[in-house]
Amino acid sequence: MHPAGVGAWRLWPKRAAGFAKRRRQITPLAMTDTPRLPVGSGLHYAHGTLHLEQVSLAELVKRFGSPLYVYSKQVMLDALHAYTQGLNPHPHRVHYAMKANSSLAVLQVFANAGCGFDIVSGGELARAMQAGAHAQDCVFSGVGKTTAEIDQALAAGIGCFNVESLSELQHISSRAQALGKVAPISLRVNPDVDAGTHPYISTGLRDNKFGIAHADAVAAYRYASELGGLHITGIDCHIGSQITQATPFFDAMERVFDLVDALTEQGITLQHIDLGGGLGIDYQGEQPPSAVHLWQTTVQRLHARGLQHHALWCEPGRSLVGNAGVCLSQVVVCKPTAHKNFLILDAAMNDLPRPAMYQAYHEIVPVTPRGEPPLLWDVVGPVCETGDWLGRARTLAAHEGDVLAICSAGAYGMSMASQYNARPRAAEVLVHGDTVHLIRERERHETLWQGEYLVT
Ligand code: LLP
């Protein structure tokens, strides 16, 4: 009997006749080729099963359970290398945007590789420092920094505040003076460039809440130069995320360079130009420009415009970790229905919210392919929401108990995971060569009510 049939038969033995009728509607699809694995993911099949670096993912699930996030250290280091290759020998700093994946061991990989961090909260600053980062290697982005966060960053000796409004300029200036500190600042400029990405992750348009309008930037710098407790060090810009074309980057870059020229004319000189993050990755066959190409071209343009005495900074997140990670999940139930077939996994929107939030596509592949005719499935989680899906209309041959790999899950996966439906968050593993490190334990039920009180 077909795999989907086996599961259904076991669940509804008395309804076998009804199921047989339904089964006719789930005609197997033609065999497909080997599953597509995203470019730059380090995933490969060996001995009939999926490996990351030299580690069998099937073995990891046996050892650590499911769902399980697994990351490749080598893929992260290779991704970082593409940035340094493009930027060298120009003076530069790569600040890993840790919102993409803030697990301590992941931060440690980047800290040890010489990265600084782009942070957006006091919590991120504390995490980065817990992983071995120095505050002076961190830039503090974000539109709504609180007094407590500004004070924390000043006390730690933050490398730079990326300031997003005039009100924030005043706020940082007054806190710095109150604490007897000088705050290094750059202004985040909103260049009004369309990054051509999902509207929720586009940040460089004038309708977005981010940054100071390009047209107002020179006046804002003049204002900053009159405030006490501030040291103007640079300029910053970030136009969005999962950008797959070079043009919006270069348009924003030229507009930032224009501002640097205008500021120089006004006697305001800067030491660095931060062009943000945003480079996309291959989820579904996208072919974003390489970091090498992007940054070599940027360095060339910087020189061509006579601005070579400025250091180049950047804030990549997704492109450093996205394809370094997979979320492994076991099939709990195969549920064919009259209209659709559902593969219900033990991972859900709480583990990987991107499909539910942005209709994002993640490649889903079997860890140990069966070589059987596949069916068309909607791959969903067990959370009580119709929006709880991980992949729609996927061609897969899968049985209950099989393990699937949800690819490109290293960025904005675990860092956006929640405990919705009282689901403990997954464990995480880092592999390097054939070594395996458990970097986060699976949460236990007790973890979920830590810090809560019953009323007596
Ligand atoms: N710098 C700033 C100021 C940012 O806001 C971001 C991302 C980055 C750098 C890093 O961008 P990346 O290189 O990762 O594209 N949760 C969404 C993505 C949100 C991005 C927010 N800002 C997703 O899952 O697609």
* pLDDT of 19: 42
| For residue 86, pLDDT beyond 90 | yes
% of the chain with per-residue pLDDT over 70: 91
- 14 — pLDDT class (breaks 50, 70, 90): very low
* pLDDT of 88: 98
Inter-residue long-range contacts of 164-168, CB under 8 Å, 24+ positions, other chains counted: 164/188, 164/210, 164/211, 164/212, 165/212, 166/212, 166/220, 166/223, 168/143
Q: What is the pLDDT of residues 289-307, one digit of tens each?
A: 999 999 999 999 999 999 9
CA of 121 to the centre of ligand 1 (A): 14
How far apart are the C-alpha atoms of 344 and 172, rounded to whole Å? Answer: 49
| Nearest Cα residue to 318 out of 118, 129, 99 | 99
| Six token digits for residue 447 | 């973890």
327 in active site: no
Q: What is the pLDDT of residues 391-433, one digit of tens each?
A: 999 999 999 999 999 999 999 999 999 999 999 999 999 999 9
| For residue 60, pLDDT beyond 50 | yes
Residue-averaged pLDDT of the chain: 92
- Give every CB contact of residue 413 below 8 A, 6+ residues apart in sequence: 69, 101, 325, 327, 351, 352, 354
Q: What is the pLDDT of residues 240-258, one digit of tens each?
A: 999 999 999 999 999 999 9
CA of 414 to the centre of ligand 1 (A): 14
Average pLDDT over residues 98-115: 98
Which atom of ligand 1 lies at the shortest distance from residue 162's CA?
3
Predicted TM-score (pTM) of this structure: 0.93
328 or 208, greater pLDDT:
328
- 280 — pLDDT class (breaks 50, 70, 90): very high
Q: What is the pLDDT of residues 338-392, one digit of tens each?
A: 999 999 999 999 999 999 999 999 999 999 999 999 999 999 999 999 999 999 9
Alpha carbon nearest to ligand 1 atom 19, residue? 201
Distances (CA, A) of 196 to 142, 297, 416: 21, 20, 23
* pLDDT of 7: 36
Q: What is the pLDDT of residues 147-161, one digit of tens each?
A: 999 999 999 999 999
* pLDDT of 210: 82
Which atom of ligand 1 lies at the shortest distance from residue 354's CA?
24
* pLDDT of 196: 75
Q: Name residues contacting ligand 1 (CB within 6 A).
A: 97, 99-100, 118, 141, 201, 203, 238, 241-242, 276-279, 315-319, 354, 358, 412
CA of 61 to the centre of ligand 1 (A): 30
